Amino acid sequence: MSFSVNKLAPELVAPAEPTPSGRLPLSFIDRNVMLRLFVDLILVFEHGVQPAKAVRAALSRALVPLPRRRADRGADPRLEDVNNLERPLLLPRKDLIPYAPPDVIEGDLTFMLQVTEFRCGGFAVGIRFNHAVFDGVGAAQVLKAVAEIARGHARPVVEPVWCREAIPSPPKPLQRHAAFPAAFHFQTSAFDISSDRINAVKNQFLRETGQKCSTFDVVTALLWQCRTRAIRLDPHADLGLGFAANTRHLLRGLLPEEGFYGNCVYPMEIKANAGTIAASSLVVLIVLIRDAKDRLSAKFSECMMGDSAENPYTVPPGYGTMAVSDWRQVGFFEVNYGWGEPIHVVPLPDDNNFLASCFYLLPPKPKQGVRLMTRCVEMEHLPAFSEEIMKFAADLA
Query: Which pLDDT tens digit goes with each residue over 6-48?
Result: 777 777 676 666 666 677 889 999 988 778 889 999 999 999 9
One domain, residues 77 and 148: yes
> In b/e form, how buried is each residue of 20-41, taking b as 16+ CB within 10 angstroms?
eeeeeebbbbbbbebbeebbbb
**When comparing pLDDT for 272 and 307, which is higher?**
272
% the chain with pLDDT above 70: 90
Q: Where does the pLDDT of residue 397 fall: very low under 50, low under 70, confident under 90, or very high at 90 and above?
A: very low
pTM given for the model: 0.92
Does residue 265 lie within any of the structural domains? yes
Q: Span 326-334, mean pLDDT?
A: 97
Which domain range does residue 261 map to? 186-329+351-394
Length of the chain: 397
One domain, residues 378 and 234: yes
Position 123 pLDDT exceeds 50: yes
The CATH number covering residue 325 comes to 3.30.559.10
Q: What pLDDT does residue 1 have? A: 63
Identify the CA nearest to 116 among candidates 186, 64, 51: 51
Q: What pLDDT does residue 178 have? A: 53
Query: Cβ(271)–Cβ(289) under 8 Å?
Result: no
Q: What pLDDT does residue 75 have? A: 74
Helix (H, G, I), strand (E, B) or coil at 378: strand
One domain, residues 144 and 231: no
One domain, residues 204 and 134: no
Number of domains observed in the structure of the chain? 2
Identify the CA nearest to 127 among candidates 99, 148, 87: 99
One domain, residues 156 and 201: no
One domain, residues 194 and 299: yes
One domain, residues 255 and 377: yes
